[in-house]
Structure 1
Amino acid sequence: MARFVVVLPLVPLAAGDEFTVAQWPLHVTLVEPFPTSLDAVEVAAVLGDVDGIGREARAIHAAAGEDAMFGRRRDVPVTLVEDGGELAALRTRTLAALRHAGVDVQPRRDFRPHVTRKQHGRVRQGDRVQLATVALIDMRPPQGGHHRRVVAAWALGA
């Protein structure tokens, strides 16, 4: 079974880009990792039809908010992202499209947009954040479990 995640990277990503888990580009997760029997092409087709991704797409302008700690043990440092509601609306439409396609998505009910702080970068409170790409990421690419591969990407506001 395939496993994907949908993210809004802070830097442009394109189909075919690859990176290791340690080098994940800074991003806001739009839809948490989900398993599916659909292949990458089918999931990309579903996402490409979502209003705000494939049609009439506009970049989302946001700001970095407060720092917080996430994870079961509250040991994952993040910076919350604040916007005018566009992230929640895009998330709702994306989840609905995936469910309509038969994907059993189990989203967090306490979703709070954020950017995880990494050794190679972070955002700081007050930073302006432009989310101008939606990317579908393969969590189980042929390269193995420590790699990720961009299956498809859509420019927002192009």
Structure 2
Amino acid sequence: MARFVVVLPLSPLTVGDEFTVAQWPLHVTLVEPFDTRLDAEALGAALGDVATAAGVRPISAGVGEDAMFGPRRDILVSLVRDGGEIAALRTRALAALAELGVEPVRTRFEFRPHVTAKRHGRVHRGERLELGEFVLVRLRPPETSHHGRIQGSWPLGEGSRRAEVERGSTG
């Protein structure tokens, strides 16, 4: 089994990029971590179609108030405000994964788009975010001690087919 997550990064990422938990690039999580026997190529085919479907465009959003998340309410996040595009994209991504037989077990029913504050950076109320990339991340890949590796990357946008997917990455 392999573990993946789907995110909208705040700055461009490249397939093959790796990072530890402390170095996670700032992002909005679109689909929570999920386990599957499928490889990145199979997931990428379905998710790439979501990112480039008719009507999908880069998302302009604003940073709202701060909140505390996590079981102990000790994780600082900044809520992200948009016109519903993030939730719609999430619904499409979850549907595409369901068609492949992938059902994330920890899907949040009350989805609240946010950016988690990290030691290396954070966003602040009133800032504008341009979310233009849809990224598949493999968590804890077996070949490395790093905690994340970019496996697929697609620009958001109708008809956009420039995509990268790491080939030969098994689940």
Q: Classify the TM-score, shorter chain.
A: over 0.9
Residue 54 in structure 1 maps to residue 52 in structure 2: yes
The percentage of aligned residue pairs carrying the same residue is 62
Letter in 1 for 2:8: L
CA-atom RMSD, angstroms? 1.1
Letter in 2 for 1:47: L
The Cα shift of 1:140 comes to 2.2
Task: Please give the TM-score of this superposition, normalised by the length of structure 2.
Answer: 0.87
Residue 120 in structure 1 maps to residue 127 in structure 2: no
Q: Secondary structure at the match of 2:79?
A: strand
Distance 2:88 2:53 in 1: 14
1:1-158 equivalences in 2 (<5 Å): 1-50=1-50, 53-56=51-54, 57-106=56-105, 107-141=107-141, 142-144=143-145, 146-157=146-157
CA offsets 1:82-133 (integer angstroms, 9 cap, x no match): 0000000000010011011100223110110000001111110000011011
Moved over 4 A (4+): none
Q: Secondary structure at the match of 1:7?
A: strand
Q: Which stretches in structure 1 are left out of the alignment for 5+ residues?
A: none
Q: How many residues align?
A: 155
Q: Which stretches in structure 2 are left out of the alignment for 5+ residues?
A: 161-171
Letter in 2 for 1:133: E
Letter in 1 for 2:101: G
